[in-house]
Amino acid sequence: MPNASAKAEHLSTASLRALGDALALRSKIASSLRRAFESAGFLETETPVGILAPAPEEYIEAPGAGSFFLRTSPELQMKRLLAAGMERIYQLGPCFRAGESGTKHRPEFTMLEYYMAGADYLELLDFTKSFLCGICSALYGSHRFHFGNGVIDIDKLEIIPVREAFRRFAGEDADRCAAEEAHFEYVLVDRVEPALPKDRPCVLLDYPIRFGAFARPKASDPTLAERWEIYMGGIELANAYGELIDPVIQRARFRQFAETRKKMHLAEYPEPAAFLEAIDAGIPPCAGAALGFDRLVMLFADRQDIAEVSFPLDS
Amino acid sequence: MYSAADLKKGLKIEIEGIPYAITEFEFCKPGKGTALYRCKLKNLINGSTMDRTFRPVDKVDTPNLEEKEMFYSYHDGNNYIFSDAETYEEIQVSAEQLGDKVYFLIDNMTCNVLFFNGKPIDITLPTFITRVVAETEPGARGDTASTNVQKPAKLDNGYELMVPLFINQGDTIKVDTRTGLYAERVSKG
C-alpha cells in the first residue's frame, strides 16, 4: 500500500465486502416488506428527517442538527397524514437516538413505522404476524428460521399479558414495579425478557398506563395502555399502540414528559404545534407500530450484532 | 465509585465486598423506558460468574486492586512464597489458591500477582513453561507428526497431561499455563 489512508480505505472496502451477504439479505427483506404493505393497501410515505419539534418522550434523545432536530421517529408527521385522510401508511427510513449504542442499538438506525386507521392494536398484530410470515416464506420457504442456537417458528406466536409475564417470570406485580422509577424496566430487562420462550415470537400485551406514551387507555381497564411489544429470539423487535387520539390526554402527557425532562436536565423541545393542530382537528381511531428494521435483518440473517447487518457509521 | 454509565466490558468493580470483572456488557433500552446495562460478572476470588443488571442511577464501588510483579522464591512445606522484585517483601500463597499452577512454578519465575485490599487473590504465570517428560509410553505408530492422537505423560514434577504420540521420555516440551495443556516440543531428549 502506498500510504496509510489508502490502506485504511482498503480495509474499509474489505469490511464492506464482508457485510455483502447481510446487505443483500437486507435488500430482499425490504422488497418483501414493500410488497406485503402494498398488497395490503398501504401507501409508502416520506416525511422529513430534520424536524423542529421531536416527540416529547422521557427517555429518548433527539440529536440536534443546526436549528433542527433529527427525528427519533416519524410518528408525529405520519399522524398528521392520518388526520389528513390517509388510512394505511408506512415508512421505512432513518431515525436517530442520541447516546444509544450497543449490539442492538445504533444512534442512527432504520425504522419501519406503520399505521392502520379503523383497526385496533390486535388487528395490527395480525397484520404484523402475516408480513413476518411473508418475509420468512420468501427467504426460507416456510414460517420457521434459524436464529442463534435454535429455530423460531412464527406460527407459534404467543401473547402474554404484561401483568402475567411479570408474575410468571419474575414473581412481581407489574403495577407496583411501574410505580417506582426505573424498576419496571429493571425487572423487565433483568428477569422477564431473558425468560421469554426463544422458539417463537412473544408478544407482551397491555402495559401499565405510564408506559404507553402515545397509547390510549384500554376501555375495559384504564390503568392499562393498549400497547404490545413483540420479541423474537430475545430481541425486542416492534412496539405498537392503539393510538391515543384524545387531544386533552395527549396534551397532559406532553406536559408531564416535558416536566420529567426538565427534572432530568434534558434539552427542552419546542411544542409540536402542527401535530397538536392535527389531533385537535381529529385523527381517526387507529393503531400504529414501529419496528426496528435492522433488528429484523439481524433475526433473518442470524446475526447477534446490529453492526453485522448495517453499513458502518462514521465515528 | 463508578456510575452505571462508566460500566464496560473488562472493567473491575466491587459488590458487597467482592471484586468482579465485567466479562459481558450489553446496553439495553426497553421500548420507551430508561436505559439499563445488563452485565455478566466474574468473581475474581473464586471464578464463579453471575448476571447483574444496573440502572442508570446505580453507583458501583471501585475495588482496591493492585497488580505487582513478583518472583516465585520457594515452597516452605505449607505455602508457596513469592517475593517483591524490588523490596524482596514476601507473601505466602496456599496450594489451594494456586490449584494446578503449583506444577508450573519454576524458581525465580516472574509472575503478576493481583492484590485485593492487600491480599493476593490471583497469580498470572508466564504463558508457557518448559519441562522434561519423565514418563510416557512409546508412541504406538512411531514418530508420527500427528497431534490429533494423544497419549498420557507425566512431567518431571509429577504433573500429568496428554501429549502427541511422537513425544518420548526425556523430551522437553512447552506447556500452556492458562490451560495446563501441551503446546509444543522444544527439543528431543
Report pLDDT for B141: 57
Distance to chain A for B114, nearest Cα, Å: 31
Q: Tens digits of per-residue pLDDT, B40-86?
A: 999 999 889 999 999 888 999 999 999 999 999 999 988 999 999 88
d(CA A148, CA B34): 27
Q: Which residue of B has its CA nearest to A178?
A: B33
Which 3 state secondary structure label does DSSP give B175? Answer: strand
CATH 2.40.50.180 holds for B65-124: no
* Chain segment A274-304, per-residue pLDDT in tens: 999 999 999 999 999 999 999 999 999 999 9
Q: Are A59 and B32 in contact (CB under 8 A)?
A: yes
What is the rounded CA–CA span in Å between residue B61 and residue B57? 13
Of A106, A138, A101, which is closest to residue A27 (Cα–Cα)? A138
pLDDT of A93 strictly over 50: yes
CB distance A190–B53 less than 8 Å? yes
Burial classification of residue A25, based on how many CB atoms lie within 10 Å of its CB (0-12 exposed, 13-18 middle, 19 or more buried): middle
Please calculate the CA angle A20-A24-A30 and round it to the nearest 5 degrees.
Answer: 145
Other CB atoms within 10 A of residue A257 CB: 19
Q: List every span in chain B annotated with CATH 2.30.30.30.
A: 2-60
Q: How far is Cα B10 from Cα B19, in angstroms, rounded to an integer?
A: 12
Nearest alpha-carbon partner for A250 in A215, A285, A200, A198: A215
All residues of chain B having their beta carbon less than 8 Å from the beta carbon of residue A212 are 32
Closest Cα in chain A to B34: A59
CATH 2.30.30.30 fits B2-60, yes or no: yes
Q: What is the pLDDT of residue B140?
A: 61
Global confidence as pTM: 0.83
pLDDT in tens, B90-114: 999 998 888 889 999 999 999 999 9
Integer Cα distance of A246 and A225 in angstroms: 14
Give mean pLDDT, residues A52-64.
90
Question: What number of C-beta contacts closer than 8 Å exist between A and B?
Answer: 63
* DSSP tag of A172: -
How many angstroms separate the CA atoms of A15 and A311, rounded? 10
- Chain A contact present for B140, CB below 8 A: no
The dihedrals phi and psi of A56, each to the nearest 5 degrees, come to -70, 115
Q: Which residues in B lie closer than 8 A to residue A213 (C-beta atoms)?
A: 32
Cβ contacts (< 8 Å) between A208 and chain B: which residues? none
pLDDT in tens, A241-283: 999 999 999 999 999 889 988 988 888 899 999 999 999 999 9
Alpha helix stretches (DSSP H) within chain A: 4-39, 75-83, 121-140, 162-170, 174-178, 183-187, 193-195, 247-263, 273-281, 293-301
Is residue B181 less than 8 Å (CB to CB) from chain A? no
Nearest of B67, B45, B61, B62 to residue B115 by alpha carbon: B67
For chain A, the straight-line distance linking the first and the last C-alpha, in angstroms and rounded, comes to: 23
Among candidates A219, A259, A261, A241, which has minimal Cα distance to A75? A241
Indicate the DSSP class of residue A171: -
The CATH 2.40.50.140 portion of chain B extends over 65-124, 128-187
pLDDT over 70, % of chain A:
97
Q: Which residues pair with A77 in a beta bridge?
A: none
* Higher per-residue pLDDT: A8 or B127: B127
Distance CA A126, CA A128 (A): 5
Domains and CATH numbers, chain A: 4-308 (3.30.930.10)
- Dihedral, CA atoms, A31, A235, A285, A32, nearest 10 degrees? 10
Grid cell in block for residue A201: 415470537
Looking at residues A44-63, what average pLDDT do you find?
93
Distance from CA of B149 to the nearest CA of A (A): 30
What are phi and psi for residue A54, nearest 5 degrees?
Answer: -65, 155
What end-to-end distance do the CA atoms of chain B give, in Å? 55
Q: Name residue A285's beta-bridge partners.
A: none
pLDDT for residue B145: 59
Radius of gyration of chain B (CA): 22
- pLDDT for the residue A1: 43
Cα separations (Å) of B27 from A38, A225, A306, B15, B61? Answer: 35, 26, 12, 20, 20
Beta carbons within 8 Å of A178's beta carbon, 6+ residues apart: A184, A208, A210, A211
Interatomic CA distance for residues B14 and B21, integer angstroms = 9
Distance CA B110, CA B85 (A): 8
3-state secondary structure of A163: helix
Task: Count helices and strands (H / E) in chain B.
Answer: 1, 16
Residue A233: band (very low, low, confident or very high) from pLDDT cuts 50, 70, 90: very high
> Which of A86-90, A201-205, B53-57 has the weakest average pLDDT?
B53-57
Closest approach of A246 to chain B, Cα-based (Å): 20
DSSP-assigned beta bridge partners for residue B185: B173
| Under 8 Å between Cβ of A84 and A76 | no
Mean pLDDT of chain B, nearest integer:
90
As a whole number of angstroms, the distance between CA A48 and CA A28 comes to 25
- Nearest chain A residue (CA) to B35: A59
pLDDT at residue B146 tops 80: no
CA dihedral A81, A82, A88, A90 (to 10 degrees): 50
What class has domain B128-187?
mainly beta
| Average pLDDT of chain A, as a whole number | 94
> Is the Cβ–Cβ distance between A283 and A246 less than 8 Å?
no
